[in-house]
Structure 1
Amino acid sequence: MSLLEPRRIRSSAVLITLVVAVAACSSGRSDSDVRSPPSATGGVDEAADDVATGNDDSPVTEPPETDPPVTDPTPTESPLDSPPVTDAPDEVDPSVAAVADLPGAQVATVDPAGTDPAAPLPDEVVRPIVFVHGFAGSAQQYESQAMRFVANGYPAEQIVAYDHDGAGLDIESYADGVDGLIDQVLADTGAEQIYLVGHSRGTIVSTRYLEDPVRAAKVAKYVAVDGVPCPDGIVPCVAPNQANNPGQAHVEVATSEESFAMQYEFLVGEAPEVLEIVPQRAPVVISGRAVNFPANTGRQGATLEIWPIDRASGTRLGGTPHASFPIGADGEFGPLVLESGAHYEYS
C-alpha cells in the first residue's frame, strides 16, 4: 500500500463546461449586436419598397461601406487540448518517509497530538548507558527509563542492556560478559567511557566488575538501583532504592519516574524536562528479542507472528499477521512499524 494518497483528477465534464463557457463569451458581442447597416435615404425598408415598385426615378445610391464584424482573433482552445487538472500529491511527513521500507509501513502515521523528543543533548554529556538486570530479570526492565532518556534528547542507540541468564548464579561469568559488551560499545561508538546501571542482582555483578581497576577505568559513573550499596571511592555513584523512593516496590524502583529523575540528573547534570511517558508524534517503530525465560536465550528456529487484535475481545483481526519474523540464536526481531493505539498479539 502506497504511503501517498492517489491523486484525485477533477471531473472532465466540469472541465469541458468551463472551457465552453469561456469560448461562448470570447467574441465580445452577442447576436443582437450584429445589424444590417441603414441606407442613405432613410433605411433599408424604404429602399426595398423602391425596388419592388420599379421606381427608376429615385436616385441610385451606393450603400456605405461597412467594416466586417469584429471577432476575437484568438482561437478558442478545445477542451481536448487542455491537460487534466490534478491535485498535487499529499506531502509525506519525513518521519513516515523514514520508515517506508520497514515491515508494517502501511500503518505508519503521525499523531498530531503526540510529542517529539527534546533537542539532542550536547555530546559532552552523552555517554553510552549499559544496563545490567537482576535475578529473573531482562533488558525489558529498563525499557521505560530508556524511553524517558530518549524523550529528553538522549540518543536511543546509546542505551544498551546486558541480557544474561536470569536464574543463574555465575557472577564472575556475568562480569566477564559485561566487560565484553562494554568493549563492543566503546568500539562501536568511539566513546572512552560508559555509564553503568545495575538493578538488584545486577548491582552485585556491577560491583564485581568495578573491583577490577582496569575495568573500572571504562566507567565514568555508576547507578546502583535497589541492590548492594555503591562501592566506596571507585567511581561516582548514586543509588535509587526503596528507602529514598518510599512506597515503591523493588522492580518499581527500576522503572519509576522518581528513579529516572535521580539517574538523569546524576548522569547528565541537570533535571530532566520530561518524566511522563506520553504518545509520540512519529510512527511507532519497535524491535526486540523473543527469548526463553528466565534464561534470556533466543528462541532459535521459532517464527514470531504479530497479529492485530480487537481490544475488547482479543480476537485476531484479518486472516494474516501484521508481520512475521524467523528467530535466530540471538532472538532478535524487527524493526517494524505498528499502528498507534492498536493492540497486538505476539505468538
Structure 2
Amino acid sequence: MTTPWSPRAARSGAVVGLGTLLLAVGAIPLTAQRAPQRVLPRRGAAAAAPVPIVFVHGNGDHAGLWDNTIWRFESNGYPRDRLFAVDLPHPSAASTPTARESNRSTPDDQAAALAAFVTRVLLRTGASTVALVGSSRGGLTIRHYVRFGGGAAHVSHVITGGTPNHGVMALATTTPESEFNGLSPYLRALNAGSEVVAGVRFLALRSDSLDKYAQPTGAAMGAPTMATGVDARSPALAGATNVVLPGTDHREVAFGAAAFAAQYRFLVGRPPRTVAIVPDSLVVLDGMVSAHANGQPTNLPLARAVVTVHEVDAASGVRTRVAVHRAVTRDDGRWGPFRASATARYEFEVAMPDSSVVLHLYRSGFPRSSAVVNFRLPAPAASRRDSVSVLITRPRGYLGASRDTVRFDGVPAAGIAPGVPTVDRALRWFTADTARTVRASVNGETIVVRTHPQDRRRLVVAEFQQE
C-alpha cells in the first residue's frame, strides 16, 4: 500500500499514512513472543513502557532467525509483549526493484508488508512508535519504509545489521538495476541527500572483514576475479551511529551476542546485564509452517501440514516414547502451542499435506518460550538409490573452515571453504543399509539424529541454534 518507488517519489517524500495502511493489516500475521490478546493500554501507560521492537529478516529468511535475540532481550527484562518478529510473505528479492516476478518481492512489496505489520503492533501495544531492527535486506526494507513509505512518523529507532546499504557490488555493467547494486537507481535514490531520516535514530552494525557481501572481490559469491567496487564499509550509513563488530559474519552481525549488546545499548541507553540466554521455568513453543513455490522460499502459511513432535534420547536420537504433540495446521499455518521441557531434546516431524516431503528436524534445546519456531518445508529433491543424506544447518551464522569445526560422526564436513564464511549448511550422504545414528557437530555442540533409509521422501536436518 506504499506509494510505488521511483526517483521522483523519493525526491518528493511521498508517504502513506496510518489510516491507509489499515487496509493492509489483515493480510499480515502478527507474531510476538506469546503476546496475549488484551485491551489496549491507556496512552499514558503505553508511553511509559519500553518501545515495541520489530525484527525484520533478510533475503529468503523468516522470523525464526530472531529467537536468540528475542530471548536475550527477555533475559534482560525487556517485556515479552513488546518484542515482535515479522514474516514477510515473499522474502526473496526480484531481479529489479520494479520487476513483477512470481513469489519474489520488490522493495515496495516488502515495505508495504512491513507497514501493515507495524500498524498492527501499534494497535496492539498502544504505542506511538516502534523500533525496527533488520538483518541484511531487512535493513533495506526498513529504510525504504521509513524514507518512502511514511514510516518516519511511526519509527523512533532503526538498526541495520550487515545491510548492503551501498550494495554487495557497485558496478555499472553487472546487474545494474539490482536492489543490491550500489550504483543502481534504487540505491542511489535511497542514499540521496542524507542516508538517514530526520527524527529517527539510526544504528548501523557491520563486520570488520568477514561479511561475505561486503568484500572487495566476488570470491565469496563465486566470482573471485571480480572487483566488486565495495568493501567492509558498505553496510555503514553516513549520519548514523556506526559500530564495527570484529570477527562477525554476515548473519552474526545481526543475530549474534555482540550484535544484541549493541542493539540493546542503542535502544535502552545502557549495556545489557547479560548476553547469556537465561532459562525460563515454563517453555511454550509455537510457529508457522511454510513451504516453497516456484522454486523460491515463502513465508506464506501452509494449511494441512502435519507436525508431530517426538522426545528423543540426546545420545542416540532414538524416540523415547509416543509423540508428545501432534497438530494439523489450519489456514494460519500454526502448529502449536506445545508445552516443552527446557532440558529435553526433540525431533520435529513435518509433512507436506500430500506427504510428498517429510522433514525430520532436530534442534538445539529451547531455554525459553518462542512463537517463531518456524518450519519451512523444502521442495522435493532428487535422492540417491543407495544413500540417504543428513543436513547440518546454522541459519544464524555462516560456516568457514578457518574458524568453524563442522563434523559428521567425527569426520570433517566437505564443502566448507577457508577464509570468509560463505555457507550456512553442510550435507553428507550415508549408505542406506539401515537406520543409523549420526552425530552432527558444530564448534563443540553436538546434535544426534536418526536416518530413515526406508523412505526417500524424508530429509533429516540438524539445526544449530548457535550464532
Q: TM-score, normalising length from structure 2?
A: 0.46
Offset of residue 157 of structure 1: 1.8
Could you say what secondary structure the match of 1:188 adopts?
helix
Offset of residue 333 of structure 1: 2.6
Counterpart AA for 2:309: I
Determine which of 36, 61, 74 is the counterpart of 1:137: 61
More strand by share: 2
Question: Equivalents in 2 of 1:233, 1:136: separation in Å?
Answer: 27
Question: Equivalents in 2 of 1:259, 1:339: separation in Å?
Answer: 28
Is the 2:47–2:127 Cα contact (8 Å) retained in structure 1? no
Query: Is 1:166 aligned to 2:91, yes or no?
Result: yes
Give deviations 1:112-149, integer Å, cap 9, x for gaps: xxxxxxxxxx9636111111111121112211110000
Question: Equivalents in 2 of 1:267, 1:340: separation in Å?
Answer: 29
Offset of residue 334 of structure 1: 2.1
Is the 2:147–2:197 Cα contact (8 Å) retained in structure 1? no
> Which one scores higher on RCO, CA 8 angstroms, separation ≥ 6?
1
Q: Which residue of 1 aligns with 2:202?
A: 237
Determine which of 70, 76, 79 is the counterpart of 1:146: 70
Could you say what secondary structure the match of 1:202 adopts?
helix
Q: Which residue of 1 aligns with 2:126?
A: 190
Q: Which residue of 2 aligns with 1:323?
A: 325
Counterpart AA for 1:335: P
Give deviations 1:174-194, integer Å, cap 9, x for gaps: 100111011111111110000
Q: Which residue of 2 aligns with 1:66?
A: none
Q: Which residue of 2 aligns with 1:65?
A: none
Is the 1:141–1:254 Cα contact (8 Å) retained in structure 2? no
Report the RMSD for the aligned CA atoms in angstroms: 2.0
Larger radius of gyration: 1
Query: Is 1:201 aligned to 2:137, yes or no?
Result: yes
Query: Is 1:291 aligned to 2:290, yes or no?
Result: yes
Matches within 5 A, 1:3-42: none
Offset of residue 312 of structure 1: 1.8
Could you say what secondary structure the match of 2:285 adopts?
strand
| Structure 1 residues 317 and 233, CA gap change in structure 2 (3 angstroms) | same
Give deviations 1:22-62, integer Å, cap 9, x for gaps: xxxxxxxxxxxxxxxxxxxxxxxxxxxxxxxxxxxxxxxxx
Question: Equivalents in 1 of 2:111, 2:323: separation in Å?
Answer: 40
Question: Equivalents in 2 of 1:248, 1:225: separation in Å?
Answer: 11
Counterpart AA for 1:323: H
Could you say what secondary structure the match of 2:336 adopts?
strand
Determine which of 290, 306, 309 is the counterpart of 1:306: 309
Question: Equivalents in 2 of 1:198, 1:213: separation in Å?
Answer: 16
What runs of 5+ residues in structure 2 fail to find an aligned partner?
A: 1-33, 35-45, 93-103, 166-190, 209-243, 350-467
Counterpart AA for 2:268: V
Question: Equivalents in 2 of 1:267, 1:312: separation in Å?
Answer: 41
Give deviations 1:239-287, integer Å, cap 9, x for gaps: 111131111111111221111111001111111102112433x122222
| Structure 1 residues 268 and 310, CA gap change in structure 2 (3 angstroms) | same
Q: TM-score, normalising length from structure 1?
A: 0.61
Question: Equivalents in 2 of 1:279, 1:149: separation in Å?
Answer: 13
Question: Equivalents in 1 of 2:161, 2:124: separation in Å?
Answer: 26
Question: Equivalents in 2 of 1:123, 1:271: separation in Å?
Answer: 22
Q: Which residue of 1 aligns with 2:252?
A: 252
Question: Equivalents in 2 of 1:340, 1:145: separation in Å?
Answer: 18
Question: Equivalents in 1 of 2:50, 2:337: separation in Å?
Answer: 24
Offset of residue 170 of structure 1: 1.7
Question: Equivalents in 1 of 2:346, 2:111: separation in Å?
Answer: 36
> Percent of aligned pairs with the same residue?
31
Is the 1:125–1:268 Cα contact (8 Å) retained in structure 2? no
Offset of residue 299 of structure 1: 2.2
Counterpart AA for 2:283: V
Could you say what secondary structure the match of 1:259 adopts?
helix
Could you say what secondary structure the match of 2:276 adopts?
coil
What runs of 5+ residues in structure 1 fail to find an aligned partner?
A: 1-98, 100-121
Q: Which residue of 2 aligns with 1:338?
A: 340
| Structure 1 residues 256 and 286, CA gap change in structure 2 (3 angstroms) | same
| Structure 1 residues 268 and 124, CA gap change in structure 2 (3 angstroms) | farther
Is the 2:313–2:345 Cα contact (8 Å) retained in structure 1? yes
Question: Equivalents in 2 of 1:275, 1:289: separation in Å?
Answer: 27
| Structure 1 residues 322 and 123, CA gap change in structure 2 (3 angstroms) | farther
Is the 1:297–1:329 Cα contact (8 Å) retained in structure 2? no
Question: Equivalents in 2 of 1:228, 1:125: separation in Å?
Answer: 32
Counterpart AA for 2:284: V
Matches within 5 A, 1:202-217: 202-212=138-148, 214-217=150-153
Question: Equivalents in 1 of 2:204, 2:268: separation in Å?
Answer: 15
Offset of residue 215 of structure 1: 2.1
Matches within 5 A, 1:216-227: 216-227=152-163
Q: Which residue of 1 aligns with 2:275?
A: 275
More helix by share: 1
Offset of residue 233 of structure 1: 3.5
Counterpart AA for 2:162: D
